[in-house]
Amino acid sequence: MYDTIITKGHVVDPKNRIDGPKTICISDGKIAKIADPAEAVEGKTVVDATGKIVTPGLIDVHVHTFEHISVYGLNADRVGVYSGCTTINNLGNAGALTLYAFRKHVIERSITDVRVFPSINAFGVQENWGPKSPELGEGAISETSARELIKVMEKHRDVAIGVKVHLDPGGISWWGFSMLDHALTVGKAMNVPLYTHTGTLFPYKKDAPRMDPDAIIPEALSKLRQGDILGHIFSQHPGAFLTKEKKLNPAVKPARDQGVFFEIGHGNNFSFEVARRIMEEGVMPDLISSDVHGMGGSTPAGPVNDSRLDWSMVGTMSKMWNLGVSLSDVVAMSTIKPATALGLASTKGALDVGRAADITVLSLCQGNFIMKDSLGVTVPVQKKLLPHITVLGGRIFNLDPLSMQEFKTETTPAPL
């Protein structure tokens, strides 16, 4: 008699090469057995997953969750367990001066397992596309900020598992490639990966020389190491994977030999056209991620953000599935591959017996739907995924995704 069994579902676990009906047995918060459907097993709690897809707990490597501090930080559990993700990773909202606060106010107050890549910017980047972070000046990213980040990360090694740096044309006009050098100093000292943002983001520094956006990725890849992450593979912005001529930057394919991970980071950086062009070149992402963030601003009487967004981790998975990526590969890009990229593959990303029971149950919605990219381009599709149940350490969360605006938007029926 197990504590819980999840039965009659289609289990997809790429790490263990499972792709078919299985029964998952859970006791004491851990996976106790993966049983064949014909095997008689009993559970005190029985989860009927008929018609559902059951996967290892989803891992979103790119979220923004410093709620009420960052103008676009969302609630961690909203984009975590209540969106089907058992583990999420905040990219860049905290820095050397704010990492402790992030731990106390986000990590320790959340049900979801939250990790963080603090920014090489000492303050953390709180207004990602506004002028305020660059106006903090050169002191925000310096040898001093790198030293301070190392000191702080040494105290939070269990949760601070990487470093975020922006390699966009505007940021380079302010700090040059010294910001990558400082981030590498931290990454090497802490033995953690870097996440490097690509594509236009910050405003340009007035009267500063402007680097050719197409030269940024080649320069970055001359410095990046195996295990570092190059972000926003399907971005439509200058300085990302496509050149001004809308061709794949020639430096991208050799990066595979370096062992650099390619990440989606949907957010404001996902174009169907760019995705098709890049995949036609034979280049695929390693990591599916949402880059979820609010779009609001603070007011004297209101919250710091109004939490409007129209994408999610599961929504990005649906887009990749509809673009022709197999379901097994989509799940791998959302479980074992991000676990590997974050250095968590020994405990997360797979349904190994003895591991914590972190599991996601997805509903498959079939019909006529519209999917939208960051440019507002829409495509009709006939299948969508929705989070149905999240299991975190054996604890069951029955979800109501259509009560959340992002999932309502992502399941908009196509016009007749």
Only one residue has tokens 């963080």, namely: 116
Contacts of 391 (CB under 8 A, 6+ apart): 4, 6, 26, 57, 86, 357, 358, 359, 360, 361, 397
**Which stretch of DSSP H or E encloses residue 167?**
strand 163-167
Q: Which pLDDT belongs to residue 294?
A: 77
C-alpha of 20 from chain center: 26
Going by C-alpha positions, the residue among 92, 55, 82, 35 that lies closest to residue 339 is 55
Only one residue has tokens 């992450």, namely: 229
pLDDT tens digits for range 265-275: 998 899 999 99
Q: How far is CA 354 from CA 8, 157, 162, 341, in A?
A: 21, 24, 27, 22
Q: Which pLDDT belongs to residue 297?
A: 46
Structure tokens at 270: 């996902």
d(CA 52, CA 54): 6
E runs forming strands in 99-158: 113-117
Q: Would strands 43-48 and 2-13 be described as parallel, antiparallel, or unpaired?
A: parallel
Structure tokens at 105: 């106010």
d(CA 351, CA 85): 15
Q: Which pLDDT belongs to residue 280?
A: 96
Q: Which domains does the chain have, with CATH numbers?
A: 2-55+351-410 (2.30.40.10), 57-341 (3.20.20.140)
d(CA 162, CA 59): 15
DSSP state of 88: E
Q: Which pLDDT belongs to residue 135?
A: 55
Only one residue has tokens 């673009």, namely: 323
d(CA 301, CA 276): 44
d(CA 340, CA 362): 22
Q: Which pLDDT belongs to residue 138?
A: 57
- Residues of the chain below pLDDT 70: 125-139, 295-310, 411-412, 414-416
**Which stretch of DSSP H or E encloses residue 171?**
helix 169-175
